[in-house]
Amino acid sequence: MTSGQFKPLPQIIMELTPVQQQKLYVDIMAIIGEVQWTDVAQLTALVMGNATLQQQVTAALLGYVTKELQAEVHYID
């Protein structure tokens, strides 16, 4: 990413290379691998309904962006 350039997290994820996507996938699956789900809607509901899973997935996403992409994360309420 270019220094000073703001991009929302979903956009950053969509722009990842296939290798980067696979790395992020592996990181997230390490967290949710034991969760039984059939589709994205169900997985989203399960994660959002479980505070621990939600925190772990958020931490993995933010960790990936800051460590692998060396991006600075800013929270906006």
Q: Are 68 and 26 in contact (CB under 8 A)?
A: no
Domain definitions of the chain by residue range: 9-67
**Six-digit token string for 50:** 């479980």
Query: Average pLDDT in the 10-38 region?
Result: 94
Residue 25: band (very low, low, confident or very high) from pLDDT cuts 50, 70, 90: very high
Torsional class of 57: left (φ above 0), alpha (ψ -120 to 50), beta (otherwise): alpha
Single pTM value for the model: 0.80
Q: Would you say the C-alpha torsion 28, 68, 51, 44 has a positive or negative sign?
A: negative
Q: What is the pLDDT of residue 72?
A: 85
Q: Kindly state the average pLDDT of the residues 41-45.
A: 95
Is 60 exceeded by the pLDDT of residue 28? Answer: yes
